[in-house]
Homo-oligomer: A and B are copies of this chain.
Amino acid sequence: MDIQTLRTRHPDHWMRAAAIRTLTLDAVAAANSGHSGMPMGMADVATVLFEKHLRFDPKAPNWPDRDRFILSAGHGSMLIYSLLYLTGYEDITLDQIKGFRQWGMRTAGHPEFGHAGGIETTTGPLGQGIANSVGFAIAEANLRARLGAKVMNHRTWVIAGDGCLMEGVSQEAIALAGKQQLSNLTVFWDDNGITIDGKVSIADVTDQKMRFLASGWAVFECDGHDPEDIDRAITAAKKSDKPQLIACKTHIALGSSAQDTSKGHGALTDAKLIADTKAAYGWTGGPFEIPAAIKAQWEAFGVRGAEARAAWEANLAAMPAARQKLVARLFSGAVDERALARAILGVKKAAVEAKAKIATRSASEKVLTAVNPVVFETIGGSADLTGSNNTKTPDLGVFSPEDRKGRYVYYGIREHGMAAAMNGMALHGGVRPYGGTFMCFTDYARPSMRLSALMGVPVVYVMTHDSIGLGEDGPTHQPVEHLAISRSTPNTLVFRPCDLVETAEAWQIALSQKSTPSVLALSRQNLPTLRTDAGAVNKVAKGAYVLAEAEGKRQVILMATGSEVEIAMKAKATLEAEGIGTRVVSMPSMELFAAQDEAYRKRILPPGSVRIAIEAGVRQGWDRWLLGQGGREAKAGFVGMKSFGASAPIDRLYKEFGITAEDTVALAKSLI
Contact = CB atoms under 8 A, between A and B. Distances in A.
A384 B642 CA distance: 35
A205 B170 CA distance: 16
Interface string A162-181: 11001111111001101100
B33 A471 contact: yes
A668 B481 CA distance: 32
A410 B643 contact: no
A632 B386 CA distance: 52
Interface in A630-661: 631-633, 641-644, 646-649, 652-653, 656
A400 to B, nearest CB: 8
Nearest to A480: B490
Interface string A480-511: 11001101111100000000000000000000
Each complex incorporates copies of this chain amounting to: 2
B485 A488 contact: yes
Nearest to A124: B476
Given A167-B172, A653-B103, A206 B216 contact: yes
A414 B168 contact: yes
Interface string A436-448: 0000110110110
A412 B203 contact: yes
B125 A441 contact: yes
Contact of A206 (B124, B175, B385, B647): B175
B414 A166 contact: yes
A305 interface: no
Contacts of A453: 644
A193 to B, nearest CB: 13
A481 B490 contact: yes
Contact of A384 (B74, B203, B451, B473): B203
A462 interface: no
Contacts of A471: 33
A207 interface: yes
A203 B414 CA distance: 10
A355 B619 CA distance: 39
A211 interface: yes
Interface in A155-201: 162-163, 166-172, 175-176, 178-179, 195-198, 201
Nearest to A166: B413
Interface residues of chain A: helix, strand, loop or mixed (majority): loop
A412 B203 CA distance: 5
B162 A166 contact: no
Residue of A382, A387, A440, A648 with most partner-chain B CB within 10 A: A648
B417 A168 contact: yes
B447 A101 contact: no
A126 interface: yes
Contact of A167 (B168, B487, B624): B168
A178 B206 contact: yes
Contacts of A414: 166-168, 203
A346 interface: no
Contact of A648 (B101, B205, B621, B632): B101
A400 B489 CA distance: 39
A230 to B, nearest CB: 24
B384 A195 contact: yes
A213 B656 CA distance: 49
B163 A644 contact: no
Contacts of A454: 475-476, 644
Interface string A198-230: 100111111110110111100000000000000
B110 A473 contact: yes
25 contacts: A33-B471, A101-B474, A101-B648, A103-B648, A103-B656, A109-B474, A112-B474, A162-B413, A167-B444, A176-B203, A178-B205, A196-B385, A196-B387, A202-B410, A203-B414, A204-B412, A206-B215, A207-B214, A210-B213, A211-B214, A214-B214, A444-B447, A490-B643, A629-B633, A633-B633
Interface of A: 31, 33-34, 74, 101-105, 108-110, 112, 122-126, 162-163, 166-172, 175-176, 178-179, 195-198, 201-208, 210-211, 213-216, 382, 384-388, 398, 400, 410-414, 416-417, 440-441, 443-444, 446-447, 450-451, 453-454, 471-477, 480-481, 484-485, 487-491, 618-621, 623-624, 627-629, 631-633, 641-644, 646-649, 652-653, 656
Listed from nearest, the 4 A-B pairs whose CB atoms lie closest are: A168-B168, A203-B412, A627-B627, A171-B171
